[in-house]
Amino acid sequence: MSVLVTGGAGYIGSHVVSLLGEAGKDIIILDNLTTGRPENILYGKLIIGDLRNQALLDQVFTDHKIEAVLHFAGSIVVPESVTNPTLYYQNNTENSAALIKTCLKHGVKKFIFSSTAAVYGMPESGVASEETPTSPINPYGRSKLMTEWMLEDVSNAHDFSYVALRYFNVAGASKTGKIGQSTPRATHLLKTAAEVVTKKRAGMSIFGTDYKTKDGTCIRDYIHVDDLAQAHLDALSYLDKGGKSQVLNCGYGHGFTVKEVIGAVESYVGQKLNVEMGPRRAGDAVELISKAEKIKTVLGWQPKYNDLDYIVKSAIEWEKKLK
């Protein structure tokens, strides 16, 4: 099978490419390297380019006889989406539309989409199942939800099947030690903490300490990147067997506060971090935890790394390797 992976030089995309390579797939990676890094790619062929280049898209699909698409390319920083929404509608919605249209043009019927739990917004209970109403509170979440809607409509109108995976908070680094979170200026909590540990940052901030949680900080469902990557291979196998289109949560079903994650980092390294308490950040939900039984039932997905201490260890040990 010839598989196109957009954004495959990025954090999550590169982990999926690694598993696809180990599974013997023929992989074509399309990435404009805005945040991706060529050294993250362990398998496949990298084509440097942008999804806005329709001629390039057509050439890639034709030359490599693409049979399935895994779509990771996009912008993911929530506060930036609030201050620069048009960038997010361009990179996440318009570019996705162009990619889907190209799939139809070239007869590609299998599509896996990198979506987000941000489509839920602020569910009243703080817990979201796939049946929870979508009500995103920022342009990032809206831009991703629009792509989900497009996929649903295209699937209803054409011989075209997709799996949209709604990620919760992805963290950690590959068990191989060869790839991890390498994105410059990343805003992920654990990545930031790891940079403080390795003295690449002088300190870090907690954004909001007055939320109605046990310690006043936001709660998130953290999933190890290797488990998330495996979900994509399971989704591809599911579509290969004729599976119907699905929207599935990717999380562990329990959460940790910001202070608990920082505490786990401090415990691992045996030192206190330089942490400042700051005001709330625009577009942040108080609590967001998955109900993730459906993905296990539908795809047979079985997570292996549901352990905050392991997630922390893998992230920090990877950060130590980065220059």
Decide: 290 and 128 in contact? Cβ < 8 Å: yes
Q: What's the length of the chain?
A: 323
Q: What's the CATH code of the domain at 17?
A: 3.40.50.720
Same structural domain, 227 and 213: no
pLDDT of residue 306: 98
Q: Is the model's pTM score more than 0.85?
A: yes
Same structural domain, 166 and 298: no
Q: Residue 177 domain-assigned?
A: no
Q: Residue 181 domain-assigned?
A: no
| Catalytic entry in 11, 43, 140, 167 | 140
Say how far apart CA 36 and CA 14 lie, in whole Å: 9
Domain of 212 in residue numbering reads as 189-220+253-321
pLDDT of residue 184: 73
Say how far apart CA 118 and CA 166 lie, in whole Å: 8
Full 3-state SS string of the chain: CEEEEECCCCHHHHHHHHHHHHCCCEEEEEECCCCCCHHHCCCCEEEECCCCCHHHHHHHHHHHCCCEEEECCCCCCHHHHHHCHHHHHHHHHHHHHHHHHHHHHCCCCEEEEEEEHHHHCCCCCCEECCCCCCCCCCHHHHHHHHHHHHHHHHHHHCCCEEEEEEECEEECCCCCCCCCCCCCCCCCHHHHHHHHHCCCCCCEEEECCCCCCCCCCCEECEEEHHHHHHHHHHHHHHHHCCCCCEEEEECCCCCEEHHHHHHHHHHHHCCCCCEEEECCCCCCCCEEEECCHHHHHHHCCCCCCCCHHHHHHHHHHHHHHCC
Same structural domain, 209 and 239: no
The last residue of a domain, from among 199, 230, 250? 250
What the block records as the tokens of 101 is: 């249209």
Q: Residue 182 domain-assigned?
A: no
| 272, burial (CB in 10 Å: exposed 0-12, middle 13-18, buried 19+) | exposed
Q: Which residues pair with 165 in a beta bridge?
A: 114, 248
Q: Residue 178 domain-assigned?
A: no
Q: Is 252 a catalytic residue?
A: no
pLDDT of residue 303: 97
Same structural domain, 33 and 61: yes
How many domains is the chain built from?
Answer: 2
Instruction: Extract the residue ranges of the chain whose pLDDT is less than 50.
Output: none
Same structural domain, 72 and 213: no
Same structural domain, 214 and 259: yes
Q: Residue 183 domain-assigned?
A: no
Q: Residue 102 domain-assigned?
A: yes
pLDDT of residue 284: 79
Same structural domain, 142 and 243: yes
Decide: 75 and 91 in contact? Cβ < 8 Å: yes
Q: What's the CATH code of the domain at 316?
A: 3.90.25.10
Query: Could you give the count of Cα atoms lying within 13 Å of 271 in the half-sphere of its Cβ?
Result: 9
pLDDT of residue 79: 81
Say how far apart CA 40 and CA 33 lie, in whole Å: 11
Same structural domain, 28 and 85: yes
Same structural domain, 246 and 277: no
Say how far apart CA 33 and CA 76 lie, in whole Å: 14
Same structural domain, 10 and 138: yes
What the block records as the tokens of 293 is: 């039984």
Give which of 173, 168, 117 is closest to 311, Cα–Cα: 173
What are the pLDDT digits (tens) for 24-81? 999 999 999 999 999 999 999 999 999 999 999 999 999 999 999 999 999 988 889 9
pLDDT of residue 310: 98
Residue 65 CA, chain-centre distance (Å), reads: 26
Same structural domain, 141 and 270: no
Q: Residue 35 domain-assigned?
A: yes
pLDDT of residue 216: 97
Say how far apart CA 287 and CA 255 lie, in whole Å: 8
Q: Residue 176 domain-assigned?
A: no
Same structural domain, 23 and 151: yes
